[in-house]
Amino acid sequence: MDKRILVPTDFSKNALNAVRYALDLYKKLHCEFYFLNVFRLDSYTTSSLLVPEPGSAEYEKAKAKSEEEFAKLLEMIALHQDNHKHSYYTISSFNFLSEALKQTIAHKDIDLVIMGTQGASGTKGVIFGSNTVNTMEKVRACPVLAIPENVRYTSPKEIVFPTDYKSTYKRKELNYLLEIAQLHQAHIRVIYVSKKMDLTEEQENNKRLLKEILETVDHSFHTICEKDISYGITSFAESKKSDMIAFINRKHYFFGSIFSRPLVKEIGYNATVPILALH
């Protein structure tokens, strides 16, 4: 069965970089790529009582502009990255990004979302824009892979997987991590960052279970004593020249404590590697 990948785009340089990364990462697999553009209307605001309707001149003009940009994108793909294993579909939507993502994921049975991370302002130090942070926090139906602006695709060979060993792992949660590792013969480095080096009995049991799940790929376990968890993760990833950081995004738990909004930006700025949020 084809893998279905959703790539939101605003046709910016950063979004185009995410498209290229997505096509290269899965170049060996049969995939359906759905490119989503959420278009806006200049005169429309959330406080306005009038919602532009399909068929109105302003709506159709904005939609036509979106479709023109899609035609250019597909032309670029055909020239530089066309792959007979890939098929491409475009969706122009007048909607909020979060709602458009939710609807497309449900209606198209999407397996994975891949998106760029640059904030619209391009402010120095704010690599993870609010749209990306919100998507990683809110999208629960499938994994989200965020690609920093300056990351050029290389086949991932080192993937860092931070954990606190406090939760029981399920194989299906790690399917995409295992798939990427197997696809690219990558080494998964499991990292435990904590002020206390010793593990409880429960943590030891969870670690053993994780080891069993990872037995089909190259992997290793590492422990770092560090108060600042995000710094520990990014420093370790840099020291190993890692190509990706993956984590299980459990609601109000791991993401909330480690990848809170300022830390997401910090990790994006310091590590400059793709971040894979698993669910």
- How high does pLDDT run on average in the chain? 84
pLDDT bin (cut points 50, 70, 90) of residue 7 is: very high
Q: What is the pLDDT of residues 175-208, one digit of tens each?
A: 999 999 999 999 999 999 888 878 999 999 999 9
- pLDDT at residue 217 is higher than 80: yes
Q: What is the mean pLDDT of residues 226-254?
A: 80
Q: What is the mean pLDDT of residues 13-42?
A: 92
| Nearest residue to 151 (alpha-carbon basis) of 239, 72, 246, 242 | 242
pLDDT of 123 reads 44
Domains of the chain: 3-147 (3.40.50.620), 158-278 (3.40.50.620)
Supply the pTM of this predicted model. 0.86
d(CA 197, CA 136): 29
| Nearest residue to 115 (alpha-carbon basis) of 28, 204, 219, 38 | 38
- pLDDT at residue 240 is higher than 80: yes
Tell me which of 210 and 128 has the higher pLDDT: 210
Q: What is the pLDDT of residues 36-93, one digit of tens each?
A: 999 877 655 555 555 667 767 888 888 999 999 999 999 999 988 878 999 999 999 9
pLDDT of 233 reads 87
CA dist 144 → 78, 108, 125, 206 (Å): 25, 16, 21, 24
Q: What is the pLDDT of residues 142-164, one digit of tens each?
A: 999 999 888 899 999 999 999 88
In the sheet where 86-93 sits, what is the strand order?
Answer: 86-93, 31-38, 3-8, 112-116, 144-147, 275-278, 244-248, 158-162, 187-194, 219-225
